[in-house]
Structures are given as structure tokens and as C-alpha cells.
Amino acid sequence: MARTGPLAGVRVVELAGIGPGPFAAMLLADLGADVVRVDRPGGPGLAVDPAHDVTNRNKRSVVLDLKSAEGPARVLDLVERADVLIEGFRPGVAERLGVGPEECRARNPRLVYGRMTGWGQQGPLAHTAGHDIAYIAVTGALGMIGSPGEPPAVPANLVGDYAGGSLYLVVGVLAALHHARATGTGQVVDAAIVDGTAHLTAMIHGMVAAGGWQDRRGANLLDGGCPFYGCYETSDGGYMAVGALEQQFYDTFVDLLGIADRAPARKDLARWGELREAVAARFRTRTRAEWTAVFEGTDACVAPVLSLREAPGHPHLAARGTFTEAGGITQPAPAPRFSATPTAVDGGPALPGAHTAEVARDWDLPALAPGDARPAKDA
């Protein structure tokens, strides 16, 4: 399978799961790696229609039953030819299935074995079930988000699963891959969502230590406590996002908003409540589209709050090609961008088992026995 991108030539085995593991594998595939997803018979459970699961784009799929007599051996055949393996089971499950780090690295000492969990491989909660919301709750990240006097606002599953989980797994895998190529020795990467999410709060912890951040919601410069860093409703029920933190941006903001003659000084905290009311009242006098036209192209640091369906049509994002369409699905384009090894969405979501023969040929594997693979009907 010919791929482009900076990871072209890197082979990845992904043991099918849900959430952060598949997203991490998608990112590696977007960067050009040849990712073979090992799907289980019947699918992973909590998943969208495979034909619409964008996190499986740019991948190939085989179906193997790890609970069958031959399933683990077939995975190890793939591992022997791979650079990276990604799994997201609870601690100990991969070992019980016969595809844990010892078995895999016995077949391939250079293998980078990436493990994606919420709580990590060790600790009192390691074997406990959980989801994104619980992981970000105990790290302090969830407690920072939302309005004072109200329950914390849930930021979808972006902060934990994908920022604290997937992205840290990818960083770890790439670092370990660099080490493996330099030394000939692979290693295990233990990527825990609690670790990654806690790491994301590093700057805030520094600000707390310096006395520049109060450990409560809605009382700080970047958490909605500041009247010139937040969201305001418009006359048509839309919202505008304001981030006019620096003095020059604040001056432009209050001028274009039309309150420069009565806006208090930016650092006059005693009048922040007054300023918030003035800003809110002014935004309610026009529609979101009207305010967008006022601030577009200026240094006021103001932008309309768009929905997921609206975002691809934003002029800047459209000009950059931030979103793309593949297989009839509008989706984010691969990121980041590379000058010498450009990336692309080369294939739609991999349907379970659709690439069994292709992978066996390209990876120089014996053909899978008929009982081991169940190609998708439309493969």
C-alpha cells in the first residue's frame, strides 16, 4: 500500500477499540503510516456505522478472533512485521489474550508497544472502568471549566480522550520509535488519560503557585472570569467569542463594539462586572452575522461561535482547506501540514475485514484461514 506523508513506510498494528486508541491510530495513518486495524468479529461495541467512522480513515482492516485458537498467532505474525502496536484494553487483558508486550516483543524486539488507558497500567484504579469525564474530573481539569455556582461544563470528550489520551499516545509512540530506530530496541508506552490531562494543566499549576490563578471557576483571566475573554449572546440567539486580552486588542475591541467612551480601564478589576454588563448589552443589539462583519479582519480578537456543520464554511477555514470531503463525509483534513511530505485523506473508513487478502499480500503473510476473517459484505 503506497502512502505519502512523513511516516510513509512505518507499519502499525491497531487492536480495535473505541475512542482515543482509534483516534491515535488515525493520526498515525494520516501522517502516512500503514495502519492495519485488527477488528474483532461483531465489532467493538460502542461505535458508529463503520462506513461513517472517520477515525478509521486511511487504515486497512482484517478481522481476527483473539479468543480463537489461531487468533493470537495471526496477530503475532503481523507484529513480527510491524514497527508499532496500539491497544486500548484494560490492564492485563492483552496478556491474557496472548498478545501482551512480552509475547509481541519476543517476536519483534524493535516493536513499540503503545498502551492506551484511562487510569494507566498501575495504580488503585487501574482495573476500574471509566470514561473521559471521570478522568478529567480527578485531574482538576474539569473543575476549571464552567460558570461559578453551576456544575462544571462538560467539554465533550475532547480534553481527556483526545488531548490527554490520543495525542500523548502519539507523542510517546513517535519518541519510542525514534529510540528504537537509533538503538534497535523497542519499548512499552503507557499512555494514561489521567497523566496526559494532568500534564495539560502545567501552565495553570504554575500560575496557581505564583498567585496568578484562583483555584475556582470563573475567577480568572482564561476561564470566563474576565469580561474580555468569554462568549456573549447576540440578538438572534447566536454567540460571539471575545479574546481581547492584550491592551492593544482591548482598545480595538471596545472601539469597534462602540463602548470606548464608557469602558473602564482593562485592569480595573473592581469594574469588571460593570464592563461585562456593558459588553453583553451591546452584543444583544445586533445579530451574529452583523457583529461578525464588524470584527472580521481586525485585531479585536473576536470571532463568531460556529456549529460543527457551520465550521467548514468559514471563509478562512475554507481557504486553507481545514476541512475536506471524502466518501461523501465532510471531515477535518489531516493536521499538521508538511512542506516536503504532504498528507491527505487517501481512503475512507476501513470496513471490518475489507483488506484481509491485500494486507496478507503486502505484509508477506500466509493467507488467513477462511474462519479467521469475515470480510464486509461490500468489501
Domain limits of the chain?
A: 11-200+323-362, 229-305
Level-2 CATH architecture, domain 11-200+323-362: 3-Layer(aba) Sandwich (3.40)
Residues 368-374 have a mean pLDDT of 45
Instruction: Give the model's pLDDT for residue 347.
Output: 82
Report domain 229-305's class: alpha beta
Return mean pLDDT, the chain: 94
* Contacts of 242 by beta carbon, 8 Å cutoff, 6+ apart: 228, 229, 230, 231, 232, 253, 279, 300, 301, 302
pLDDT at 59: 96
Greatest distance between any 2 Cα atoms in the chain:
78
Q: Give the integer Cα–Cα distance in Å for 92 and 89.
A: 8
Q: Is the pLDDT of residue 372 over 70?
A: no
Which phi and psi (to 5°) does residue 205 adopt? -60, -40
User: Across residues 154-178, what is the average pLDDT?
Assistant: 97
What span, in angstroms and rounded, lies between the C-alpha atoms of 72 and 65? 8
Banded pLDDT at 42 (limits 50, 70, 90):
confident
Joined grid coordinates for residue 70:
489461531
Is the confidence at residue 188, as pLDDT, over 50?
yes
In the numeric block, the cell 501540514 is attached to 337
Pair 305, 240: CB distance under 8 Å: yes
Residue 378: all three cell numbers together: 461490500
Q: What is the band of 367 on the pLDDT scale with cuts at 50, 70, 90?
A: low
Q: Provide the H-helix boundaries in the chain.
A: 20-30, 71-80, 93-97, 101-107, 132-138, 167-183, 193-200, 202-209, 247-257, 272-283, 288-295, 315-320, 356-362
* Residue at grid coordinates 469602558: 263
211 Rama sector, left if φ>0, alpha if ψ -120 to 50, beta otherwise:
left
pLDDT above 80: residue 308: yes
Measured distance CA(321)–CA(324) in Å, rounded: 6
In the annotation, is 161 catalytic? yes
Residue 100 has a pLDDT of 98
What pLDDT was estimated at residue 49? Answer: 86
pLDDT at 378: 33
The pLDDT value given to residue 377: 35
- Round to the nearest angstrom and report the end-to-end CA distance of the chain: 17
pLDDT at 14: 98
pLDDT score recorded for residue 329? 95
Span 175-202, mean pLDDT?
Answer: 98
The continuous run of DSSP H or E covering 238 comes out as none
- Taking only the tens place, the pLDDT of each residue in 58-86 is 999 999 999 999 999 999 999 999 999 99
Catalytic residue of the set 161, 195, 223, 372: 161
Decide: 140 and 2 in contact? Cβ < 8 Å. no
Is 379 a residue whose pLDDT tops 90?
A: no
Residue 92, pLDDT score: 96
Catalytic residue among 131, 190, 299, 314: 131
In whole angstroms, give the CA distance from residue 279 to residue 159. Answer: 29
Contact 333, 342 (CB under 8 A): no
pTM of the shown model: 0.93
The grid cell for 7 is 511516516
263-290 per-position pLDDT tens digit = 999 999 999 999 999 999 999 999 999 9
Q: What is the pLDDT of residues 82-130, one digit of tens each?
A: 999 999 999 999 999 999 999 999 999 999 999 999 999 999 999 999 9
What's the rounded mean pLDDT across residues 142-165? Answer: 96
Beta-sheet pairing, 84-87 with 11-15: parallel
- Sorted by sequence, the CB contacts under 8 Å of residue 301 that are 6+ apart come out as 242, 243, 244, 245, 249, 253
Distance from CA of residue 79 to its chain's centroid? 25
pLDDT of residue 327: 87
